[in-house]
Structure formats: structure tokens, C-alpha cells
Structure 1
């Protein structure tokens, strides 16, 4: 626990330095807000979360600020302001909100809408617009009720987990500022990470689909690849395939997106959306070692392309038919190309009838590492 507290003070000191000027009176006896959970319980707004206490007990220790503890809090009120005041009424230390890492909404709260609270965070100057937004699969009070075993706090565990997955394209890191941009565009939805707690850790479950800033569906992690191929910055996905034929061999591969191109056009009164994806595929290993000829390699490429296209079409159909919402932001592409036509459309209705054309090309890039036999 001591190591965790020392790490927190180092990180928080940097946060305070980059959020404005301060002297020892500013930092002395500070409560640093690390993370916030938002829920509605029995008709009242409930805030939960974590606070790190910073304390320099004497003037002689002006240059030696200490983190003395990290504690959880719970406050409630009819409105956000009342819940905040309840927090202030229970807190002996001056609060600093510029170090908040994450804001997490309960599933039930997200179903009723999160836009009001996002507006609060976006327009209040004490909060950073780069705060990560997530949805929790239960009541947020349960998110903070036990210690995290593999990180310094719940908030940091959420941020670190999603950031790591986002860097490999296995998740989407969505901030307050990015969501505000989506909200202000009006006709599109968005996706945020969907999380839970498991055995003292934060576990990423998949993606929460938001329409009009209300939760309309959840995409399990194992079913989210198609969404990530379209939205993630650098998707790198593992895949297992078995090519048709007499062999029962199984191949483990890694697919790396190298190029993504999205085009829109208007034809016969319908929106058309073309999605072109190019992948480099690395064959990691075979379950059973055997020689592969050029035909085998071509079949692997074809099978990988087919599976990726299937994943993408699943994502597109789920957004179109189940969520009934453009969670990909295709409207931005169409509006940029056809501003006058866009003004005449109701995008939600146009998206429901949109035609998708998906093209996937896969290239095996490490064939020289294989025992490739030209003739068997």
C-alpha cells in the first residue's frame, strides 16, 4: 500500500503542476479526486469514487507533501449540485478535481442518459476534457467497495486497462471532449468501454453503444472486432482459422490493419458506404507442423479476408438494425461530401436504408519463415 501511495503522489504532483500555478498553501491539506462513479439510487443522484489525501502537517514541511491515504466516498442529492454539496459537507480537505482519471456510469444510469452529466463535466473549468468515460455493469458503489490488487487505485486501473487495450486496437478510449463532439453533431451515436470488477481487478467486457447518449446495447469483447476494424486507431487482432480441405490443422495468426478507407456516395435515393480494409497478416504458428504450398497460403489469405469481412458486416448490421444508430460516425463523411443533400435527409432514416460495400485484402507477410514447398 505504501508503494501505491508514493506512486500516486508522484503522478498527482505532475497533474497539479500542469494544471496551473500553486504554492504550499494550495497543496497543503488537499483532497485529490481520482475517479468518479455516477448512479441513481431511489430517485437521487449518487456519486461514488476515490480521493487521495495530500497533507503537509507543518510549515517546516512545506516542501514535503505526503499522501496519507486513499479513501472512497459516497454522496447523494436530488440533482448533481445537491450530490456535490453532500460530498463537500462530508469532506474536511479542499478538493482538487483536475486529476480525475475516469468517470464511470452505472448501466442503469446510462440507460436513462448521460448527456446532462457530460455537459456538467465539459463546461466546468476544474475538470479536464480528456477524462475517460466508461460504463459499469452494475451499481457504481460496488465498483469502489474493495481494493484493486493490480494497480494503485480503481480509477487508475480503469484508465491503464483501457489505455493498454486501446494502444493495440483492442478497445476504444473515449474522452469527454470526443463525446461532446459527437453529441454536438447530433445525428450520430458513439461507443464507450463497458467494464466490470472481477477478483480485485478491473475487467474490460466490451463496448457500450450510446444513442442520444443513452445506452441501447452492449457488444461483448469477443464480438467487437468488426467495430474495432472500423473505429480503432491501430487494430491488431489475433485470429485462429482452419482452412477447408483434408487437413484438420489450425493456424494462429495476427492481423494488423495497414490501411482503411471510407467513402460515401448517394445513388438511387440511398446512402452508400464503401469500406476498404488492407491487412498484413503474420502466421504465428501451426497447431501441427506441416509443409505449406502457395495454394495453402492463398487459402489462408482468403479465409482471413472472409472472416474479417464477416466481422465487419456483423458490426454494421448490428448498428443499423439493432442499435438503429450510426455509432461509426459515417454521417461526418457524407456531410463533408454532400452538405446540401445531408441537410435534406433525416440521417437516422437514411442510415437505416444505407447500403454497405466492404472490401478486405489480406497479405501474409512472413512466408519466408515457413517451410514453403512449391511442389508436394
Structure 2
């Protein structure tokens, strides 16, 4: 073998390795060729026309009205030298009607000059009318769970209003409504009435385990803001929306789940109005079995905080005043928790409080014997006694304005 032939033979593996490495970008799409979808709203058409027929045929006729929120990059720029105009529109909404989510995306592709790209999708808003239908909620998000571009951290919200109205909420200080909604869902440290963010990955796990669950519900205040202080309750068996918790009941659920990160509690004592600022809240759950071999539960809640405001207050540094304020706050927390428990047990029969999960982890053999009776058949959840043991500590009471002795 000649020297040249041996040299060519040695170079062959290097050439093959280089070709493999260079082929890694074969499917790359330039950023200016992507249509960035940052929000999706899913409604029923105003007039849903379905012909009589079998159940499968009726479901096949049902269509979705899907609004896609798409970024206009030039509108995001605040530098005129970049080719954008300061304050220009940063998004546009495009509406598509189809009977599946996949075909609606295909139809969107036929209208956009850039290929739809979902990797930066921030929020999916689904209307109440769709979520209340058995299994329809799961079918609606199925496409997003299968889509390879999707992030499992994308937020999911339910609305009593039209989803398109929510995606048209445009605060003056935010260029993208979808980003506004995403940031709004994170304000749990500022309010105990906001449920922790509902990520599509978590919702997927609830659906697979057939567990009842709660996710954030958003209402449309006006074009400048939306409100996120309700919780949408889903039945784990039928995978459908059964109702909503009010803002107070949502705060009660946060206490029951041990997810309070902050916020305020209004209270009154001796005909005076005050505001208690939550700084720390811990939860533990205790379970006991009676002679009937059925469980009863006790929630132990410990809350620390400060008095932010008291109207016409006595000396709030005195021990009697502190004890009265602690008792007043305790009663208020117990009241909102009892409201939540009553609605979940007796109106919705949906355990989103964590009792099922506690039994699964701590009393597994009992739970497996009674799993089907917990919510679905025997309604055990609705009949189980739940006691509340709440302790409140006022760490800082302040004493700015002494108006009374």
C-alpha cells in the first residue's frame, strides 16, 4: 500500500466523524422564521351546532374556537435604532375554528407567514363551558401534552368568561397579555387568595392518577386587568369541572394544603377592624381510626405574622390586646377553612385538600381497600370528620397611634 493510500485510509474516520457532527443542525430554523405563540385561549363557538346522532358522532361535530397570541418582535423593542418603534404593538391574536387542536394548529400554519413555535408558550386559558363537559378538558390539553415543543411549566387557567377576553387583557405596563397572566399567577406571596400556579405537567399527573384537583381560575375585570382569586375544582373520575371556590374559600384551601406564602387577613375585635400580615404558616395532618375502622382527621395549623393596621386601637403592646388580636385572627382563619371544607365535602364531593394523598402514603393498605369508596361510590370523603387546630402568634403588633387607653 502506497504512502498516499495509507494517508487516505487514516483520514476516512475523521471525515466520517466530521460529517456526523456537522449534520446536527440539519433541522435548524432561524429565529426570524418562527412565529412565537405565547398564549392560547380555547372557547366554544358562540353557536355550537351539533346534529343528532351517536355520542361519538356528536363529539366529532363539536368544534373549538382557539385564539393564538403571537409575538411581534419589533413591538418588543424600545430602541428605535433596532427598527422597532417604542410603544408599538408587541402581539396579535389569530382565531381558528376546528374540531381538534392539532388541526387548528395546522390551519394556523396556513395563515401565518412563519411556522408556529410553542416552546415559549406561557399560558393556556380554557373556558368554563368546555371544562364542564366530561373528559373534554383532558382532550383539550392532550395536544399540548404530546407536542414536543411544549414546556411542562406552561400555566393552565380556567375562566368563567370567554378565553379570548382574557387574552385581550392589556395592562398599560405590560406589552404581552400572556406574560401579564403568567406573572399574575406568581403573586402568591402577596395574597393568600391566589392558588399556586397550575402547570400543565402537574395537571397531567392529576389526570393520569384520576385525582381530583384544583387549578387557578381567572376572571376578566376590564381590558386593563384580570383577577386571579378563584380556584376551579375538577372531579378526578370524570375529569370535568364541577365548580369554583370563592376568593375566601381559595385562601382556606391554601391553608389546608399548606401552601400559604403570604397575604393579609382582616379581623375585628372589640368592634375594631384590623389587618394581620401572614409571614409564616405551617400545616400538619393527623389521622385517627375509630371503632368502625374509618378515619377522622385533624389539621394542625400554626401561623406567625404582624399586625399591619388597626383602626381606633388600644395599646397594642399590652398583653391583653395581643391575645385578643391573636384570637380574632384565629377565628377568621378557622371560618374560611370551614367554608372550604363544607363546600368540598358536601357540595362537590372532591378531595383536593390532601386527605386522599395522606392516606395513600401513611395508611396504604386501608386506602387500597377503600379507594373506590373514597369519592366515587361510597362517598367516604364527604362523611369524614375534619377538625381544625389553629394557633396564631402576633410577632409584631406596632403602636404608632395611641387613640384609646
Deviates more, 1:303-312 or 1:223-232: 223-232
Residue 5 of structure 2 corresponds to none
Post-superposition offset of 1:40: 2.0
Post-superposition offset of 1:168: 4.9
Pick closer, same or farther for the CA change 1:249–1:72 going to 2, 3 Å: same
Q: For 1:303 and 1:143, how far apart are their aligned partners in 2?
A: 37
Post-superposition offset of 1:100: 0.2
Q: For 1:251 and 1:229, how far apart are their aligned partners in 2?
A: 20
Q: Deviations over 1:128-172 (max 9, x none)?
A: 111111012222233334644331212111111111236654412
Residue 237 of structure 1 corresponds to 263
Residue 232 of structure 2 corresponds to 208
**Superposed, which structure 2 residues align to 1:307-326 within 5 Å?**
307-326=332-351
Pick closer, same or farther for the CA change 1:336–1:127 going to 2, 3 Å: same
Residue 35 of structure 1 corresponds to 39
Q: Deviations over 1:170-220 (max 9, x none)?
A: 412111111122222224332323332413222224111121332211222
Residue 85 of structure 1 corresponds to 106
Structure 2 residue runs without a partner (length 5+): 1-23, 49-61, 75-81
Post-superposition offset of 1:23: 9.6
**Aligned mate of 2:399, from 358, 370, 373:** 370
Residue 165 of structure 1 corresponds to 188
Tell me if the contact between 2:235 and 2:242 (Cα under 8 Å) persists in the aligned partners: yes
**Aligned mate of 1:136, from 159, 181, 205:** 159
In the alignment, structure 1 residue 340 sits paired with structure 2 residue 365: yes
Post-superposition offset of 1:297: 1.8
Q: For 2:148 and 2:190, how far apart are their aligned partners in 1?
A: 28
* Paired residue secondary structure (1:242): strand
Tell me if the contact between 2:169 and 2:220 (Cα under 8 Å) persists in the aligned partners: no
* Paired residue secondary structure (1:235): coil
Q: For 1:27 and 1:106, how far apart are their aligned partners in 2?
A: 32
Pick closer, same or farther for the CA change 1:304–1:289 going to 2, 3 Å: closer
TM-score of the aligned structures, taking structure 1 as reference length: 0.82
| Count of aligned pairs between the two proteins | 343
* Paired residue secondary structure (1:361): strand
Residue 351 of structure 1 corresponds to 381
- Higher strand fraction: Structure 1 or Structure 2? 1
Tell me if the contact between 1:29 and 1:53 (Cα under 8 Å) persists in the aligned partners: no
Residue 63 of structure 2 corresponds to 44
Q: For 2:27 and 2:99, how far apart are their aligned partners in 1?
A: 36
Pick closer, same or farther for the CA change 1:335–1:25 going to 2, 3 Å: closer
Tell me the C-alpha RMSD between the 2 structures: 2.8
TM-score of the aligned structures, taking structure 2 as reference length: 0.77
Deviates more, 1:100-109 or 1:114-123: 114-123
Q: For 2:26 and 2:183, how far apart are their aligned partners in 1?
A: 28
**Aligned mate of 2:123, from 92, 102, 117:** 102
Post-superposition offset of 1:44: 0.9
Structure 1 residue runs without a partner (length 5+): 1-19, 56-63
Tell me if the contact between 1:32 and 1:54 (Cα under 8 Å) persists in the aligned partners: no
Residue 274 of structure 1 corresponds to 298
Q: For 2:287 and 2:395, how far apart are their aligned partners in 1?
A: 31
Post-superposition offset of 1:295: 2.1
Q: For 1:181 and 1:296, how far apart are their aligned partners in 2?
A: 47
Pick closer, same or farther for the CA change 1:232–1:53 going to 2, 3 Å: farther
Pick closer, same or farther for the CA change 1:351–1:222 going to 2, 3 Å: closer
Tell me if the contact between 2:258 and 2:283 (Cα under 8 Å) persists in the aligned partners: no
Q: For 2:258 and 2:104, how far apart are their aligned partners in 1?
A: 35
Tell me if the contact between 2:345 and 2:382 (Cα under 8 Å) persists in the aligned partners: yes
Structure with greater Cα Rg: 2
